[in-house]
Every structure is written in structure tokens, then in C-alpha cells.
Structure 1
Amino acid sequence: MNNAIINCVIVDDEPLAREGLSNYVREVDFLHLTATCENPLELLDLLDQTPVDLIFLDIQMPKMNGLDFLKIAQKTPMVIITTAFPSYALEGFQLDVLDYLLKPITFERFFKAARKARDYHLLLMKPGVTDLNKTEKQDYFFIKCGSKYEKIPLEDILYVEGMQNYVIIYTLKGKYLTILSLKNLEENLSEQSFIRVHKSYIVAIGKIDSIEGNEICIQNSKIPISRNYREKVIGQVITKRLWDKK
């Protein structure tokens, strides 16, 4: 059926990357390659002239970063990030990208993302479906730990400790060390679920067991609350949820 065909555009400054993705697109019967672009500025011109359902978007490109494009674009089709850099994953999902593919991209992983785009495209085509977010709620992200990419479910996070250019993410399953700034992580985590309690710590509000003095207890760990954050912690964590005898 015609409305199951997805018109897509590839945006990447590397000719070999564009060629590789183009070959993948040609192998998928429900994808139609409308055009390829070397940077987001070319894409902006194209979007004004051509119907596009899906963008395969690189991040680090000259003239304009792919994520910067998403921040300034008033309205975009579905977006699947294609990049060699895992550190942008959290920010990408905060910008409602549909999927995040790490180079080198296998056809199997590409096809999985393409099917996800098709399912969402078909959902949008159903009668009465007019006001949906561009993507399903993202409840996880990936980080690089050594040579391995680890999936971190948001609901598993207990707290995060910052150490210069590194962070240690403590979860229900263990702890993970990765190159990432605590500030970047804080900017991309939900304020309803996570709170900064110290210059070196962010905690998951729902995982707090108790607060005593200037310490938060989460399982067997004690996290310090600094003087600068104490008022915010008390207000957001305790005051709104305090049951007390009146």
C-alpha cells in the first residue's frame, strides 16, 4: 500500500557513509530514498520543497551539528541518528529521535530501526491519530564502558557520581564508569525523577530510602547533601510528599 512507503533522506558529510546507507535503503522495500545531503543546511532547503517522512541524520558535520539542527527546526519528520559517537545518545533521545544507530552500522540493526519507523508511520496514518509525539517515550540510554556499549534503563538508576570528566552510574545491576560530564547528564535527565544534591552527585528521587541530617540513604549507600542544594532537596523530595499529623 502506498502510504506504507517511507520517503527518506540521508544527511552525512562522509561520501562512504552516504553510499553505505543508500545501499541499505535500497534493500528495504518500504523505504524510498528521496535524496542525500552533505549537511543540515542542504536538508533545510530540501524540506521546504520535498515531502520527507524520515531522516537518517549524522551528528558531527561541518557548518551545522545534527543535534543543533534538531534544536532549531520547528518541525521535523521522524529522525534516526547515525553516528560514531555514543556520548550524544541521551541528548538525542531528549530531542525525540526515533532511534540511535552507532557506526559501523550493520544491516540487521538498520533494518530493525527501519521497521520501527514503518510501524510508527503506519500508526500516524490511522484515522483519528493526529496528535502524537514523534516517538515512543524513551526509558533508557546507552553509554560506552571501555570497548562495550551498555544499556542503562532509567528506572534502574540509583544515583550518579561525578569525577572530573567521568561519571559513575550506580544502578540496581551494578555500577558503570563512562566519559561524560555530570552537567551534561543532569541537563538530560527528568527533573521529576532525578535531583542534583551535591556538586558531585545526582540521585533518583524514587530510590531514596531516607534522609538524615545532610545525608541521603539509598540502599547501603550514603550520599552527601551540600548546603547549596539542601533547601531544594527538602522542598522537592520531602515537603511535597510529607504525611504529617496536623
Structure 2
Amino acid sequence: MIHYLIIDDEPIAHRIIENYCENLQHLEKKGNCYNSFEAMQFLNENDVDLLFLDINMPKLSGFDFLKTLSNPPKIIVTTAYKEFALEGYELNISDYLLKPFSFERFIKAINKTIDTTQNKKTTATFSTIETQPNANSFFLKGDKRHHQIHYEDLLFIEAYGHFTKVYLRNEMIVSPQKISDFEKLLPKLDFIRTHKSFIVAKNKIKQIEGNRILIDVHKIPIGQTYKENINGLFL
């Protein structure tokens, strides 16, 4: 589990980060601080793995606060000021997010920050897939809840950095599970690997044209090494 602390003088910034993190169950909030002095006291009493740090705060800026830390955790800067990016990277921050930032950009920052070894340890310790032999569904942990995923509702799965996007009829769930785990889990008669980053439900394929598969409104690429799989679908 990755424990994070938000340091920002704007309450709305805390809510945005918290809402994004709720979709990534291996991230757990350790606390909220609204200025650098609160953060100093908090870190003297608690250990965290990741800081979401604003720059422009009263009395002591985020970067001045960062310079006081002898052994800082991973840092993702969240700010509205792009002109301080260079200084941030000189302080060994992991990423620099300009407000307002999207969930996709946030995911990229997390991927960049959490190294592969740490993520593998998290995934192994906190399994996100639960299934039973001969079942027509499985439980997937996401948004801090367990979702029952019926195979018939599953459109396709997309690898996304250290995460996986599970596309259903009416929603998309982000999971830290590897796509290779889904490939082992899903019935091979019903699902097919079409690309190093995609697994699709055979009965949801609407069209195949060239190197693309159409599922609902989504266009899925066909990888060169997976063309033989697709050719096996044709009579």
C-alpha cells in the first residue's frame, strides 16, 4: 500500500486529488495539511511514501518546505504555476502537474512515481481479482469497493502503464492488476488477446477492418504478433 499526504492551502485541491486516488485502491490517504508548517509537524510524527505538494502557500512555499526535508518521500507537485517546473526537477521531484489536470494525466504521474518493484509488491499483497472455478463472473476491487464483473458485460481490457482499464457496457474501472493476470483468468473460448495492451470479448466485436477492431464506439488495435489470433476467428 502507498500512503500519501496532500499539502495544499486550497480545500478543493484536496478533494480533487482524493477523488482521483479513490479509483486507485493501492493508494491510501495518510493525512491532509494546508500549509508547510502543518506538514512539518505531520511528517515528524508519521511516515508517508508520497507527497502531493502545492508550491504557492502562505509563509513558506512548497519548494522552501521541500528543502527542509533531509529524506523526502516521492514528490508530485500540483500547481497552477508552470514557470517553477525546472526548479522542481532540480529538487528531484517525480512529476509536475499543472492545475487543472485530468485523471489521465494524474495516472501518468502515478505511473512515473511508483517504481515497478514497489507496484509488484503492492499487487502481490493486495490481490484485486477474486473468482471461483466455473463461475460466470469475478469480483474486481476498484474505487475502494468490490465490483462483480459478469463476463457478458465485459467489452475489453486495456493495459495502461502500471494499471489496467476494464471497460464494461456502462462504466470503466481502473485496476492495478496486470493484463497478463486477466489473460489467465478469462475464458479463452470467449476472450482473445489482440495486442500486447488489449484483450477483447469475441462476441462484442462489431467489425474487423485492417489492423483495427470495432467494439461499440471503441477502436482496438491489432498487434502484428497477434494477427494469427484474429485470423483464427474467420471461417
Tell me the TM-score normalized by structure 1: 0.47
Tell me the TM-score normalized by structure 2: 0.49
* Higher relative contact order (Cα pairs below 8 Å, separated by 6+ residues): 2
